[in-house]
Structures are given as structure tokens and as C-alpha cells.
Structure 1
């Protein structure tokens, strides 16, 4: 479409867009049949969009927003309950952040930590700072104490942007910091420097190339944290190239357009909620509705109010919606697509049927990963497949691993063994150069952590593949199915929980002699809930335990179940044996030790007897 044709298209919808932007009333509903592009056309569109960066190495994502601001200045870009930006306003805000970052010298590769809840300004902030060469570390707002301090420390940041809502969390981390960065807060009442006043001092004009500097798509834009398989969160390097690739692939495969409005209630500090989802819409000139957090009670009200056509999900979110009472709003939407990950096959069709979702695109990706999978065909339960014609661009494989050690199984030549259809193994992606023979691996801030993720001599001497740490299975039709995480890490409430970090926190609690943390399956939920087996002193107090964990761990990492044991079994190498504990879980009919569950409302732990166990597995007790 030519610019003149685009402008005409934008002008024709000006009145509807203005009503949405002002939030005065729901947008005009257009009862048109939902569009659904074929899988082949979706792949072709995604390839075309992601080819652009190769010909424009200095054209960053902030420039894409600037392009749309010239073409459709008054169309809404980001919408929220308390703040909204048109494309012109978003571009202006990005430019102010760019001028501010340039003034601080961040163009030379400095880092800023961003600790802010979901809101439209979140994207303006990192887009502006990264556009002049700075790196923005996206910090999980649910972290507290030592975990939060660790994330700030590994970023080696000189500056921290701190929202007022996160001030208490930051105060809990201060005593554990190796160095306290310069704090910038919104408004004069905060404990840091007034960021609003600093931004207001700059004009919202774009920086000329000479001032912006020689920033290319291969430079680092973000640090996004991932638990990985062990230890504290790791900071993954994310280049401008990856930001553009995520936005382009999602825009192409979801057939995003200027007519779309995506509902995003996922955390903006995550790669999907904060980069892939919003950037797909901004790439296409559409709009993004940013909710502060997911609420089952408000979800359909928001979808109808903002006239959304797409929403981003994780599997647990879908289960929450299915468990919620039926409402009139859930049938009055104009959604054409739900896109996300973790929607298991057992609820896929029920979810699509109840809420009349015409199309679901399940995908698989990892922040630091070098390949993605997209289930564009809508096969229930699959995370996707790689079309044979694109196998050279996405060289991925599933290899056999030892169930106990997690080490790859090798043949007599010392090479790995590919799994046959129906066999479960670890997914790996070949490390290459920008899609020619596999995608690169940008690694973490810690070189040692980066090296641990690389597997060599996989299918040929000297080759290198990225270990995902994810168990998958390929069916006879070529579709891949996610099975579970390898190692000690488990996924709960959409978050990866590293048992070593949780266990270290627990053993610091008064009254505890030893602990072993693991994840257990709970009927009717996705992922695994945290459970800890404790060996305690006579003076152990659950009240002290509860308060200790609430100060040190985010809510999703606090164990949902506790087992009090006289001792813990150890291997010959002094590793705790967990398999029996995992198998027995929290069932009092097979466990003689005292068992307890955590009340989600109060944080208190209560005893589990057979009747309580039944209520938990039936979903009557919320974890």
C-alpha cells in the first residue's frame, strides 16, 4: 500500500479511532467476518517483514514508530486505563527519552534499569533510551530483596528508573546491592531525581543522525531476565535485530494490520508481553491495549470496551477465564485471534468454543533462544512445526538425553542421537549467522552462563547448538509438543522458578535444618506448583517462615506445599534425591509425614488431610 492510500485509509476511520483514544465509549463495532490468512501466506508475510533489517541496518524499532507517526499521527498506538498515546504522542515521548539518555552519556553503551509496572510509558522509555545506543534492563516488578538486588547488580547499571509503586521493593533490595545506581522517579515527591522534569526540558523532536550516533541493529538494546535451569535470574542480551525479528515474525504470522487492536495483560518485563506482543502491532501500525495486570473479572469488559481483535495469552490465563462465571461480555467481542503459549490440548477446543475464538496460534520461543515454533495451523496441543521449505532458516532438533543426568546420549562416534517421532528429548537449535544456517546466540551478561548453554559436536564434529532445557516430542505429522522443563526449574503461574534460588532462601530461615525444593503437578493447572520438604528444629514457626519468604521471594516462587521430614535422602555426590518426593507430592494417602498447603489469601500454611487434599485436586481450594 502506498503512503497516500494508507493516509486515506487512516482518515476514513478517524472518528472511530478518536472515540477509542478518548475512552469515552466503546469503539464502533463493525460486524465483518474475521479474516483468516492461510498458513503459507502467513509464513511468506513474516519472511518479507523480517527481511527488511538486512537492507536497513540503522533503522531501529523506534524509527518504525516514527514512520507510522508521520503517516497516521492521530491513530492510537498504546492504550491504557490511565495513560494513552497516539502515534504522534508515542514518537514524541520516545524522542524525549532519547534526548535525556543522550544527555546522560548513555549513547556510549551505558545501562539503565527499568522498574515500572505495566503502562504505555514503559515502551516509550526503552524504545527511546535504546535508540541512542543505551541498554535498558527490564526488571521484574515482583522481585524483592536479594533477588531484586542481584538483577540490578548484574546489569552494571549507572541509572535506575523507579516508579513510585516499586519504591518499597527497591528499598528492600538496597542493603544487598553492590552499588546503588542513580535513581530517577516520576514527580518531585520521590526519593530520586525528578524524571518528569528532566524529560520536560527536552523538545520532542527526533534526534538527527549525527546526534543519535552510529547505532546498528546488531547492538544490544535490552537485558531481559530468565531463570534458566539453575540459580538466580540471568540477564539475556537482546539486540535491536532480535527486537525487529520478534515484531516482524509475530506481525506476519498473526497477519497484523492497522485495523487490529491487541489486548496485552502480560508483564512488560517479559519478552513476550513487553516486546513480541506490542511490537507486532506497532510494526503493523495497529494499536496495543496495555492492562496493568491480568484480571479474569475485568478481561472481557476490557476486550469489549477497547474493541480488541487480538489478545496475547499464556496457558494459565486461559484456564482462569474458563473457570470464571459466564458473562454477557464474553460473547460480545470482535476477537479474531488469540496468540500465546502454554494452551494445553486438554482445554484448547473448550476454550475456543466457549469464547468463540476463530483462530488460535500457539507458539514456542525463549528470550535467549535462537529458534521459534509457530502453530499457525491451529492443531490443538502442538507448539508448532517448521515447514520443510524453512528448515534451513530454523534448524531445530530433538536429541536424546539421559533422564537422570540430563546429559545428551551420544553414539559410538561421539555425536548426539536425534529422537524418532513419538520420543521425548531436549529441543536444540543450531547456532549460525542471521538465518543462513541457523540463528545466532546472543548469550547472557555472564560469559560462563553463556558457555553452559552451548552444546558442541551434536550432529557433526565442530558444530554448535543451543540447549533449550525444554523437553519436546515430535509427532508423526511433524508437529512439536512441549512436554516439560529439564532439571530443577519448573514453571508456575507463567514464571520459571529456579529451585536452587528458592531453596537458598528457605534454608536461611530460622528453625530450618535442611530443605529440598521441587515442583509437583496439581490437577487442573498448568505447570507445577512449588513444594518444599523441610527438616526443622523444635522451635520452627510457620509464621516466621511465612514472613521470611514474603520478604525474600516473589509470590509465584513461594512454595504452595510443605512437607515436614525427619531427614532428606542424598546421593553419593551429596545431591538431594527428589524423584520420590515429586512422585508422592502432597497426597496424605501415600505420605506419612505432615503436609501443609499455603492459603493464597493470607499466606498462612494449613494442614492437609484427605478431605483437604480432595478439595485441592478438585479446584475448590485456590493455590
Structure 2
């Protein structure tokens, strides 16, 4: 207030997980301003882009991040440091001590409504530069109270979360759902499998928030004598693969798993209340008319929903794969059905599917491919853009990765499609991290038994480690750009030679033969 921050103006927050994180954005939004939650992994041009598109009046940065702002700062932005560190910026943690601790008076408060924008949260940027999504006060309340009800949070609950607080799951859902129920939250700066159960026991936690890969990493650790001596009654999250679900639940004695599906900026939410392994949610047939979402057939090559002869989208039958879309409510009173979009109107429009089933209707495109079985359970298949076509068939990278990781010794698999001159579509390629030397013959036999020919990766890339985003997502752009050219990487590359029926080392001579069409692929 003393800084003259007007209602609707933006403050950027660049800070690792810590209790002050939530206190800062709650305080700023309480007086009508908007807080942009910056990804702490970003540097250079990416960070500069995220700051520029929200045009902040102020930036609050943890002292350890001050240096990286040097090349990313817009001209007239006031920077505040949190904690001691380099630079001469004023310290907000010191300056705040000048003010009394009591609540703001009625004259100081500004009217803030549920439809007002509260936060700006960024897309992951795995398919390009991040976009800033508009998050209203209604959405924050909706997420918090929804999950408080789903998890039946109580004053005695203690949530453990190591997920980044600049994301909706780690920063709003994990915290808000427990706080509105009167409980408390333990936050850690980053996930480590080595300390996970020690933290759970030390802080006597009853709940924890997960992302699927987090569970897989825990399952790969050596057993600990105390890993089941906890009071966890439920874990909640998304992305838990069916091949991990049972073993994770059994080994660590997790009473209940609440898997869900949601998008930060979207209007499609699904909840797997029954705990069916692999499912992301269920809509029974008798409730389908109340559920404002649909699966529509999708053309992978055209990168667009399929339309019939009359120009309408085509709904998927049971077990058919299609893009999930959510109807955008036309009524002003239907806040829950809205799509608030991004700071860029152009980006917002790209996410809207118009005239899908009737003139004038509008639907939010999730960008996710799913299928729904006859019982109404939904299953995540792949991200649009990750799925590719080869030999006239759609290949879902998530399903291929699941099959690959089922082979003993494979710890990470990043699957993508690469173009080969003279062929249609894209051939499969997998970047792998393994514990020991990979038995290529046994691995090929394993894939042949689990995947159809068109889905088996034609190329392998062996790495010592895999780069991940803060939410354990793989980045594919650089891998796709480099393709299977041995000159583009120092990693060992292998080709599934159709003549020898074996994975063979890919060198420049073999690369030339593939490029010049000397193999029937």
C-alpha cells in the first residue's frame, strides 16, 4: 500500500519453497494486486520473457536469485531482495518489520471479488516459451475447498509437499486444501528420495502430495526399516502409472491414493475416488449429462480434431482415444465453467475450439489425449504433440515409455518421434538412462513381447542422466532437433537394424545409409 500499488497491478515473485512464499502472495493479492509466480529454474531469455509478458511494477526475489535478474530486468521495475545477499536492493524481509502486525483497517482494504485476477501461473514451457495463465480468486478457493473435501482434511492433518510452490499443485492445492481444513503443511525445497521418509516421520505427516515420477523414484530406492512406520492415511496427486501403482501402495503401506486430473488454466477436472489403478477419474453414465467435458476424435497428422462431413467434431466411442475438451460456460454466473485464458489474447484463442457440436459453442482444448472405458473411467494416453504417427498408426509416447521402463535396469525413458527422409510420419526414438550396461538383445526381445512393431523405438540414445523440469516432465525439443545424427551428440546411439534384427551401434556410415534410403523402414 505504501508503494502505491494499484488494484490489478503485478508483482513478480521469484523464491524457492519456504513459508514466506505463500504469505507474500496472500498479502499482495489481499489488497487487489496480482502476483506472478516465476519458475525458479528459469534463467536468461526464458526468465526475461516470463517477466516481460506480465509487465510487473515490483519483483520480490530471494537473495540467491538476485544475480540472475541482472539480464532479465525490464527498465522501471522495483526489485526487493528477500534475505541477505549480493546487490544493493532494499530487503523486504527487513523493511516489513517497520509495520504493525495487526490486520488492515477497513479504510485500507480494497474490494476484491472472486472474479478478480489473483495470480499468474506459467505453463511448463515443454512445448515452447511459457505462457502466463490468469488465475482468479474463485479458482484459488475452488481448488482449495474441492480438495479439502476430497481428502476430508482435518485440524490434525499435516501435509508434506516437496513440489514447487510456483505451480498450482504445490503452491495452492497442497497448501490450501489442508489450511482451509485447519491443518498444517510441511514444505521442502525440492524432492529427494533419500530424505522423503525421514521427513514424513520427523514431521508426523498424515498426507503427502505426489507427481507420478516421484512415486517411481521412491520405489527404486533400497528398502528402509522405517519406511512403513508412518501415519500417512492418503496421498494425492497425478500421473501415477498403473505399473507403479500397486507396488507403491503395497510396499509403503499407503491406505488410499487419490489420483486426479486437472490443468492449471483449464476447466476439465477428473477424480479417481474409487482408487482404480491407472485411471485419472470416472464419470458414471447417469452423470454424463452434468459433466461439461467430452472426448473428440483427433487427427495426429493434421494436429486438429476430426470433423465430419457437416463440419462438426466427432465424439469418441468407449475406449477410443481422443482429445479431452471442456465446455466453456456462456452464462455470466457460471464462473466454474469459464476459461480465463492467458495474458496473451492470441494464445488464449488458440486454446478454444469453436463450433464443435453446434453453432456458437466454445470448448477449452486440454491438449491431452485420453480414452474412457465402458464403466466411465478415464485414462490419460499422451500429450498432443508427443503422440506421433508411424506406419499409419498413432504412437503414444507415454505407453511406449511405460513398456521400456518395465525392463530391469532402465530408470528413465524419454520417447519421441524423429523424421527419416523418404518416409511418412515419424519413427520412434527413446533416450534412456540405465543402472548398468543395457543388454540390447534382451531389451529388444522385451519390447517385441510388449509393443506392436510400429510402436517399438527404431533408435535408442543412452545417457548418464535425463534433464527434467521441476515437475518431473521431460523436455523433448532438443532431442527431436538432434534426431539420430551421431555427429549431434556424444551419447551412444543404436539402430534397430531390420536386416540383422538387432540393435547395432549407429555411426556416420550407418547414418548415411539410413538417410539415403538404403533400408526398408
Counterpart for residue 311 of structure 1: 208
Mean CA deviation greater in 292-301 or 437-446: 437-446
Higher relative contact order, structure no. (Cα contacts within 8 Å, ≥ 6 residues apart): 1
For the pair 1:183 / 2:30, whether they are aligned, the reply is: no
Q: Which of 201, 205, 209 pairs up with 2:98?
A: 201
Counterpart for residue 474 of structure 1: 372
Matches within 5 A, 1:416-565: 416-432=313-329, 433=331, 436=334, 439-487=337-385, 521=401, 523-524=404-405, 529=414
Matches within 5 A, 1:102-141: 102-141=1-40
What is the TM-score of this pair, normalised by structure 2? 0.77
Distance 1:251 1:290, change over 3 A: same
For the pair 1:597 / 2:463, whether they are aligned, the reply is: yes
Matches within 5 A, 1:25-44: none
Matches within 5 A, 1:257-296: 257-296=154-193
Name the CA distance, whole Å, in 1 between partners of 2:458 and 2:205.
51
Name the CA distance, whole Å, in 2 between partners of 1:164 and 1:349.
43
Name the CA distance, whole Å, in 2 between partners of 1:134 and 1:168.
26
Counterpart for residue 235 of structure 2: 338
Distance 1:314 1:188, change over 3 A: closer
Q: CA deviation at 1:412?
A: 2.5
SS in 1 for 2:108: helix
Q: CA deviation at 1:202?
A: 1.2
Q: CA deviation at 1:167?
A: 2.5
SS in 2 for 1:143: coil
Q: Quick check: 2:11–2:59 contact (8 Å CA) kept in 1? A: yes
CA-based RMSD of the aligned residues comes to 3.2
For the pair 1:608 / 2:507, whether they are aligned, the reply is: no
Distance 1:227 1:265, change over 3 A: closer
Q: Quick check: 2:293–2:325 contact (8 Å CA) kept in 1? A: yes
Distance 1:315 1:150, change over 3 A: same
SS in 1 for 2:298: coil
Q: CA deviation at 1:435?
A: 8.2
Mean CA deviation greater in 522-531 or 292-301: 522-531
Distance 1:527 1:256, change over 3 A: farther
Q: CA deviation at 1:106?
A: 2.3
Name the CA distance, whole Å, in 2 between partners of 1:259 and 1:267.
24
Mean CA deviation greater in 121-130 or 200-209: 200-209
Paired residues, what number?
441
Counterpart for residue 99 of structure 1: none
Name the CA distance, whole Å, in 2 between partners of 1:324 and 1:259.
30
Distance 1:529 1:251, change over 3 A: same
Matches within 5 A, 1:82-161: 102-161=1-60
Distance 1:398 1:131, change over 3 A: same
Q: Which 4+ runs in 1 deviate beyond 4 A?
A: 387-393, 433-438, 525-528, 530-533, 567-571, 583-596, 598-601
Distance 1:489 1:414, change over 3 A: closer
1:458-496 CA distance string (max 9 Å, x none): 122111100000000001100100000002599xxxxxx
1:178-217 CA distance string (max 9 Å, x none): 5462110024544221112221111121112331111111
Q: Quick check: 1:429–1:438 contact (8 Å CA) kept in 2? A: no
What is the TM-score of this pair, normalised by structure 1? 0.65
Larger strand share, 1 or 2: 2
Q: Which of 254, 259, 263 pairs up with 1:362?
A: 259
For the pair 1:255 / 2:152, whether they are aligned, the reply is: yes
Name the CA distance, whole Å, in 2 between partners of 1:261 and 1:482.
29
Larger helix share, 1 or 2: 1
SS in 2 for 1:245: helix
